[in-house]
Amino acid sequence: MTELTLVQAVNRGLAEAMRQDADVLLLGEDIGTNGGVFRATEGLQKEFGAERVIDTPLSECGIVGTAIGMALYGLKPVAEIQFLDFIYPAFDQIVSELSKFRYRSGGQYPCHVVVRAPYGGGIRGGLYHSQSTEAFFCHTAGLKVVIPSTPADAKGLLLTAIHDEDPVMFLEPKRIYRSVTGEVPDGDYRIPFGKARIAREGTDLTLVAYGAMMVPTLAAAERLAEDGLSAEVIDLRTLVPLDEAALLASVEKTGRLVIVHEAARTAGFGAEIAALVAEKALYSLKAPILRVTGYDTPFPYALEHLYLPSEERILDAARQVGRTG
Amino acid sequence: MANATLTPDARVSSGEFDLPPSAWVEAYRTMVLARAMDERCLSLQRQGRIGFYVPLEGQEAAQVGCALALDPKDWVFPAYRELGVALVRGVPIQELLDQFIGNSGDRLKGRQMPNHYGYRAQNFVVASSPLGTQIPQAVGAALAARRRGDAVVTVAFFGDGSTSTNDFHAGLNFAGVYRSPTIFFCQNNQWAISMPRSHQTMSATLAEKAEAYGFGGVVVDGTDLGQVYRAVATARARALAGDGPTLIEAQVYRFGPHSTSDDPKRYRSDAEVAEWRRRDPLLRTKEEIMKTPGWTEAQDTALWTEARSRIAEAWKAAEGTPPLPPTSFLDDVFSERTPQLEHQRRELLGLLERKVVHE
Ligand SMILES: Cc1ncc(C[n+]2csc(CCOP(=O)(O)OP(=O)(O)O)c2C)c(N)n1
Ligand SMILES: [Mg+2]
């Protein structure tokens, strides 16, 4: 075990995978000499060389398209997109190509690329350094979507992603890259996909979140306990595949559900969770399902503190739900 | 440094397109103002009074020279580093500082990070962060101006790194096919964050990429105000005469960090920076100005003092400008709020009233 920040855990995960398997290589902008703008790849070019930690020209389309070709040939490329907000030049490669190679070839051409991208707000990044657009990728069949919230999960889920056989969107909560630290197992450490983490057990209501939103959600749960409300907190970890069983079991126990994400509300992943619970656990519910989310606007710069779900907003929603029924 | 003119054109060196001698001092004044803004804003960022800043130091002659060769009616499609262009276009310093703070004086209503600004009155289209996107847009606006019969050109500003984007290639291709009255003004500052120009593309110059799209590209010394002006004025005249687009590669150097989030010591040597600093565009322009009869060192000092005090004054006013109204971020998503957005606005007002969230 080593105490690491989340971004260090990503770094150790990448290093571990590269030591294990010479087929693993990294491509991205500023990832080599500079070690990545968030330092996620710090030191890796030194250890593994410029042939395996590849500084690319400024083209996300080039990065992902090239990674796809490498994967088709059998390598295990990990592509870094500097900010999730800059992924759109590669959207065609991801949505039309990466996600569909296996399917459109009847299984002949599996295409295993991991696309890593820092996502989310709270860093005064304005419109284009803050977005949380995981729902696009969840809506695209053929992509697994992973969002860790702790250093241990970052490493464990990343190693699973790199050894998986399918395309994985690995979205990293940059707001807590350095603010969250924790013990991380050394060496090869893997966390299976599709297994949510019960971050806190409780009986009165369920709070569901993922990524950077785990921080205010857990803080709100703490405060609810002071009110005498016992909140269960679920960290989804992987949105695709989704751990339905954990979600439904919790709601069946508590009868109350608040969903938290920083993405815009309309057609956000919270809508999927709410629909699922309405379909499969409606009769367990004692109160309406509430969502605490970003607003249906682009991500604002100056007023981001109002846009982003906060501990107070989560608490407010949880208290409304907690009082009902 | 390469100095080749890829499409030789007699007009390139004729006096018709030279920056008039009377305009040099004013150009220099703007360059000094831009550099003084850098100085001040970097320090404001360090003090935490603005959140972020993108310096332009080293690129003043390229930007000011280019902007001076344009007509106010021409449309500028900037990236995020074009302070010198904004100043020439007449964007008031306080407007810029208000934008950097994101207060109620900010014409963009606090929506964007510092440096990502735009001002309709100055035909300075609002910048975004995703690189290269403005390039085909500039082509479209140029085609629209032509369709309307307006004597207007458009200028897309972008860096060396941005020549690798999809949008660069799509934009140049369209411009070539439709012979749009567009100037592609590439400031090759030798770096795209940590990626050196030499690794960005194996083309010998960036300018020569225009050849593949069927029009001319020229390389200019972007630290030379006169040379930049001449190239842009020439390209503009050609565009208006129906001779199509031009790609201009202005070779410059980014003296400072990519942005306040960057540490250039991780990827380049101090010696390289020092080497380029010897060709500091401000020094080179000052040398020219010093040839003006009667121009003294004291006048130079006065320019700096004037610039710094103008900025200090504008900053004071910007700092005293009230913050944005808290629900303002819900405006301008559409021409009118949808029922959903109206509902969300009411929700936010409720949260504010119950003190769940705070201005
Ligand atoms: C599509 C896209 N990818 C990545 C980025 C992140 N990024 C911001 S600036 C930059 C380098 C740009 O270099 P260049 O085009 O040379 O312009 P300069 O900053 O040197 O003026 C990068 C990679 C971005 N803004 N947009
Ligand atoms: Mg550059």
Contact criterion met (CB < 8 Å) for A57 and B200: yes
Query: Quick check: B246 pLDDT over 60?
Result: yes
CATH class of B21-324: alpha beta
Mean pLDDT over the full length of chain A: 98
pLDDT in tens, A202-250: 999 999 999 999 999 999 999 999 999 999 999 999 999 999 999 999 9
Percent of chain B at pLDDT > 70 equals 96
Q: Which fold has domain A2-184?
A: Rossmann fold (3.40.50)
Residue B16's pLDDT band (boundaries 50, 70, 90)? Answer: confident
Ligand located closest to A81 CA: 1
Residue B233's pLDDT band (boundaries 50, 70, 90)? Answer: very high
For the question of residue B169 being annotated catalytic, the response is no
* Predicted pLDDT of residue A123: 96
In angstroms, the CA B156 to CA B176 distance is 15
Report the atom number in ligand 1 closest to the C-alpha of B200.
16
For chain B, where are the E strands, in sequence order?
75-77, 154-159, 182-188, 191-192, 195-196, 216-221, 246-251
In angstroms, the CA A135 to CA A293 distance is 13
pLDDT in tens, B114-142: 999 999 999 999 999 999 999 999 999 99
pLDDT in tens, A79-128: 999 999 999 999 999 999 999 999 999 999 999 999 999 999 999 999 99
Residue B9's pLDDT band (boundaries 50, 70, 90)? Answer: very low
For the question of residue B199 being annotated catalytic, the response is no
Residue A325's pLDDT band (boundaries 50, 70, 90)? Answer: low
Under 8 Å CB-to-CB from B102, ≥6 apart: which residues?
A301, A302, B110, B324
In angstroms, the CA B44 to CA A304 distance is 20
Nearest residue, CB atoms, A300 vs list B200, B329, B341: B329
Q: Which fold has domain A197-322?
A: Rossmann fold (3.40.50)
* Predicted pLDDT of residue B292: 83
Do the Cβ atoms of A87 and A60 come closer than 8 Å?
Answer: yes
- State ipTM: 0.96
Query: Quick check: A2 pLDDT over 70?
Result: yes
Do the Cβ atoms of A38 and A177 come closer than 8 Å?
Answer: yes
**Among A252, A248, A258, residue whose Cα is nearest residue A213:** A258
Mean pLDDT over the full length of chain B: 95
Query: Quick check: A74 pLDDT over 90?
Result: yes
Interface A:B, Cβ pairs < 8 A: 131
Do the Cβ atoms of A141 and A99 come closer than 8 Å?
Answer: yes
Report the atom number in ligand 1 closest to the C-alpha of B165.
1
* Predicted pLDDT of residue B358: 96
Amino acid at B150: D
* Predicted pLDDT of residue B14: 52
pLDDT in tens, A139-165: 999 999 999 999 999 999 999 999 999
**Among B249, B254, B139, B132, residue whose Cα is nearest residue B186:** B249
Q: By alpha-carbon position, which residue is closest to atom 21 of ligand 1?
A: B159
* Predicted pLDDT of residue B6: 38
Query: Quick check: A27 pLDDT over 60?
Result: yes
Lowest mean pLDDT among A299-308, B13-22, B158-167, B327-336: B13-22
A178 has a chain B CB within 8 A of its CB: no
pLDDT in tens, B96-105: 999 999 999 9
Contact criterion met (CB < 8 Å) for A89 and B111: no
Query: Quick check: B4 pLDDT over 70?
Result: no
Q: What is the CA radius of gyration of chain B?
A: 21
Q: By alpha-carbon position, which residue is closest to atom 20 of ligand 1?
A: B192
Question: A4 exposed, middle or buried (CB, 10 Å; 0-12, 13-18, 19+)?
Answer: buried
Ligand located closest to B161 CA: 1
Q: How far is CA B1 from CA A160, B158, B210, in A?
A: 49, 20, 19
Residue B293's pLDDT band (boundaries 50, 70, 90)? Answer: confident
Amino acid at B1: M
Q: Name the residue of chain B whose CA is nearest to A35's CA.
A: B266
b/e map A143-157, b = 16+ CB within 10 Å:
bbbbbbbbbbbbbbb
Query: Quick check: B12 pLDDT over 60?
Result: no
In angstroms, the CA A251 to CA A269 distance is 17
pLDDT in tens, B161-214: 999 999 999 999 999 999 999 999 999 999 999 999 999 999 999 999 999 999
Task: Given the residues B146, B236, B254, B279, select the one marked as catalytic.
Answer: B254
Torsion angle defined by CA atoms of residues B207, B208, B209 and B213, in that order, rounded to the nearest 10 degrees: 110
Query: Quick check: B242 pLDDT over 80?
Result: yes
Q: By alpha-carbon position, which residue is closest to atom 11 of ligand 1?
A: B192
In angstroms, the CA B323 to CA B307 distance is 26
Average pLDDT over residues A7-19: 98
In angstroms, the CA A219 to CA A217 distance is 5
| CA–centroid distance, residue A61 to ligand 2 (Å) | 19
Half-sphere exposure of A56 (CA within 13 A, CB side): 23
Which residues, judged by CB distance below 6 Å to any ligand atom, belong to the binding site of ligand 1? A 29, 58, 60, 82, 86, 89; B 81, 129-131, 158-162, 189, 191-193, 254, 258
Helix axes B24-46, B225-240, angle to 10 degrees: 110
Contact criterion met (CB < 8 Å) for A302 and B103: yes
Nearest residue, CB atoms, B195 vs list A55, A301, A316: A55
* Predicted pLDDT of residue A148: 98
A34 has a chain B CB within 8 A of its CB: yes
Query: Quick check: A313 pLDDT over 70?
Result: yes
Going from N- to C-terminal start, the domains of chain A cover: 2-184, 197-322
Amino acid at B34: A
